[in-house]
Amino acid sequence: MAKPPLVFLVTVLLVHSCIVASVASLSNFTDLSALLAFKARITIDPDNVLAYNWTTKSSFCSWIGVFCSQHRQRVTALILSHMGIHGTIEPRLSNLSFLVSLDLRNNSFHGYLPNNLGQLRRLRQLYMGRNELEGMIPPSLSQCQELEEIALELNKLSGHVPRELAILPKLRVLLLFNNSLTGTIPPSLGNLSMLEKLVFSNNSLRGSIPQELGNLHNLQQFNLLDNQLTGSLPSTIFNISKLQIIDLSRNSLSGCLPTNVGYGLPNLEGLYLGRNQLSGHIPSSLCRCGKLRYLELHRNKFTGSLPREIGNLSNLQQVYIYFTSLSGTIPPSVGNISKLKELDFGDNNLVGNIPEEVGHLLNLEILSLGINHLSGPIPKAIFNISTLQIIALTSNNLSGYVSTTTGSRLPNLEMLYLALNRLRGRIPVSISNASMLSVLELSSNSFDGPVPTSLGNLQLLQILNLAGNQLTNQPDTHELSFMTSLTNCRILEELQIERNQLKGNLPDSIGNLSTSLEKFNGAVNQITGRIPRGIGNLSNLITLDFGVNDITGTIPSTIRGLDKLQRLFLDDNNIHGSIPDDLCTLMRLGELVLPKNKLSGPIPNCIGNLSQLKILDLNSNLFTSLIPLSLWSLRDLSFLNLSHNSLHGHLSGEVGNLDVLEEMDLSWNQLSGNIPRMIGDLQKLSHLSLSSNSLQGLLPQSFGNLISIEFLDLSMNNLSGEIPKSMKKLLLLKYLNLSFNRLRGEIPNGGPFTNFGAQSFMGNDALCGVAKLKVPPCPTDVPKSRTKLQLKYVLPTIVSIAIIFVLLSIVIKLRMKKRHAQIPVDISPGMAHRMVSYQELLRATDNFSEANLLGAGSFSSVYKGTLSDGTVSAVKVLDLQHEGAFRSFDAECQVLRNVRHRNLVKIITTCSNLDFRALVLQYMPIGSLEKWLYSHNYCLDLLQRINIMMDVALAMEYLHHNFVEPVVHCDLKPTNVLLDEDMVAHVGDFGIAKILAADESTTQTKTLGSIGYIAPELSLRRWVDASLPHAVMEVLDPNLVRGDGDSSTVRKQCFSSIMELAMDCSMEWPDERTNMKDVVVRLKKIKLEFVANVEGSSSSNH
């Protein structure tokens, strides 16, 4: 066969070369197009790398991040990690058919992973972690059969883990942690025989861990932390001998650890099973994992004891087995773990002593054994471990003393927690040598002695808690000097010294404490003196508590500087004065607790500015104002207690604004008027007390809307009408007190009323009901046969009454035109009283101005006035809105029209018309006895007190025995005893007095009003027996016989005699009490003896 000519061969070679070059050029163009398309989707390129470098002026193989094969110049790697690029993934990257590695980690790519990435058949490494990718993981990745590593962590990927990934035979790394993946773990992943790392942590995977994962014999890291996995631990996992890390914490796994857990894990370095529901014992075989460095079994349900062999884990650096149910003792072998840095067995049921061997752990940084039942002393060797940063032994039964060298050998100690133990002795001064200390918690022990002033050397201290000990102040000092030393702690945030025995004054230096201070608690310490004005410098204070002390003085105006304050507790002190308006500037205040002080004056109107207030407690003070309307605008208020004051006026209907209120106590005040129906809007109210006021009118039907009410006390008022049937709906009501009112009608039967007894309803007018309530039975229903008779006779009667009512209304309207016409009342036939008109009273009192107001009571207000003839008088104007006001006026007129006695208030005249009633009385310039007993500016000596007692006794003797008809005052109290310019006492205010007519056996007492000191049978039974006028106990005030502080023998004898007389007047049974005639005789004798003894003592001294 002839050989082809040479020319032919050359031609063939040239054509082949051209074809190869043409194909190569076409492939390069495909890669170039894919890269330029990728660049076009980049929206942010902070360093302009792609903008300036990725241009067609140079070969793409020279572009930054692009790597090509040496011969064909095809793209084999695209690596643009950590460049801060924003954009989406271009689908045409799948055209880079020679791509082996795609690395776009740590950028801000968003959108979806293109499904056609599965076309990259040569791809081995896919790194897309730390971006903002979303959507599902493309199942098409399973077509990339060369894939060895998939890293898609820290994105926003969702959906299931594709089961198709199980057919990637060369996959070694699968990182999908910190996404939003759901569903179960595909059992087919157990086929990935080359897998070394499987990390699915921080997703929402559920279901159980497949047993098939035990087939991953090359697995080194297995991490399913923080998912929603359930079921038991597959025993097959603990046979994977190459495993180094097992992290299954923060799931809901249950069951027990396999007893052979440690036999098949020779290379295990970290076992993390915390925050599950695992139970049973901790297997001792776990201690065979000789390479274990990290062991976390905390927050499970393990029982039993710690393995005795735990000391065999010689490489252990961290062990956390807190918050389980372990019992038993701490194994002494723990001292053999010489590399241990962190040990936490807290919050278990461990008992016994802390082993001395713990002191051998010379690398220990954290020791936490708190909240157990450990006892005995703290080993001294612990305080010699210089590496320690945290010692937490809180809430055990540890006893004994704290080493006197504590702190000297702890240069790295930052936190010391020894609270809630039984430690005693002095706080070691050496503790101040631990200069790195930021938290010192020694509360609730029995430490005694003075608080060391050396604590001020701890300049890094942030929290100091010494509460609940027996600590004292430095001897021979009146001020709490240790507080001055603490001014050196410039970053102090919490100072708690409550419940000690400090007994000293707050120093002025308190204002120099750290401006970082947020919590300052000095309650229950017998602290005395005033609140220093410098307190206002603590501008970051959130909580201030000095309750239950002996603090005096006023609330300083500088408190306005605490503009971040949220809680203020000054309860149970001796603070006086008014609440300063400066307090109303604390706009963040949520709890204001000031009860059991001597605060007086009005509750400031600006209280409504405290819009975040949730708790307001002002009970047991001396407030005398109306309840300010602004208070009802505090919409977040959940607790309100204004009880035991002298607040008056009506309860505003705006109370219904407090729709989150849970407890309200307004008892023991002088509130009057009706209970507003809007109170039924308080549907979260569980506790309501309005007892011991002068409220009147009907119980509102809206009480039935108080669906959360559990405690309701309306006793000791003047409430009338029937008990609303709607209250049967109050199914949560456990306590009800409606006693001593004027209620009538049937007591509801059913609902909560089945649980109440007679005490809930006693002392009312005409209640009826079941026998167990000790009230009469209710009348039976009217028979139906009487219905026609009722229609025939009753209905015409009702119509007639209605017509008469209309006619009367017309007449009244005509007469209203003459409303100021004088209608004098003849209060004393045969006695001359001057005539006073309404207009003259208006002029005399300057239109009843507040400036002339002398005082106010249940039914009336008293004004100072100057009549046209120059007479200075007291004008008592009745509030006719009160149901008992007319009776009060009539009673007082009836008593005063005929009485004539030096020690009774003299009536000048009256003024009365259809809608106005007033008494014009003798003016007493010195004021009431109450002012002289309770004001700091007035003082009575013992002789003055005896004279006042004599005056009052003479007045009572006259009323009880020498008047035409016996009179019982029923409201004798210091406010109703007035003093003239000669300090002579005059008894007044007969608005509720009872005249005992000779022909009446019993007088009903239904208008008790503001009850003063009165015999118990009157306040409970509300009647006076005419046969015992001499025995009615008219007590005035025990403070009248306190004495003036002089402890001489003469005064002691006098005081003893007065107290003996007082006891005789206070016998339980009326007929055993001393009558007023005898009281006057005995008081005269006491006075004569006292004067004689004083004069005799005075002469002997000369």
- Kindly list the catalytic residues: 971
DSSP state of 983: -
Give φ, ψ of 404 to 5 degrees: -70, -15
Contact predicate 703/674, CB 8 Å: no
CA distances for 138 relative to 141, 154, 161, 653, 996, angstroms? 6, 17, 10, 66, 102
Residue 743 CA to residue 396 CA, distance in Å, equals 57
Q: Give the angle 117-119-120 at the CA atoms, nearest 5°.
A: 80
HEC string of 176-206?
Answer: CCCCEECCCCCHHHHHCCCCCEEECCCCCCE
Q: CB 573: neighbour CB atoms within 10 A?
A: 23
Annotated binding-site residue? 876? yes
Alpha helices in 435-579 (DSSP H): 481-485
- Which helix (H) or strand (E) is 615 found in, with range? strand 615-617
DSSP three-state, residue 4: coil
Best CA proximity match to 151, nearest among 199, 185, 193, 116? 199
DSSP three-state, residue 530: coil
Determine the straight-line distance between the first and last CA of the chain, rounded to whole angstroms.
171
Residue type, 798: I
Residue 96 CA to residue 922 CA, distance in Å, equals 113
Q: Are strands 108-112 and 132-135 parallel, antiparallel or unpaired?
A: parallel
Give me 237's structure tokens: 């996992």
| Residues in CB range of 84: below 8 A, 6 or more apart | 44, 46, 47, 107, 108
Residue 202 CA to residue 597 CA, distance in Å, equals 56
Backbone angle region of 832, left / alpha / beta, with phi > 0 → left and psi within -120 to 50 → alpha: beta
Give me 779's structure tokens: 């009348």
Give φ, ψ of 645 to 5 degrees: -130, -160
Classify the C-alpha dihedral 523-528-531-537 as positive or negative: negative
Best CA proximity match to 36, nearest among 20, 56, 9, 61? 56
Residue 545 CA to residue 89 CA, distance in Å, equals 60
Q: C-alpha dihedral over 483, 488, 492, 496, to 10 degrees?
A: -20
Q: Are strands 860-866 and 318-320 parallel, antiparallel or unpaired?
A: unpaired
Residue 646 CA to residue 672 CA, distance in Å, equals 12
User: Binding site for ATP: which residues?
Assistant: 876
User: Binding site: which residues?
Assistant: 876
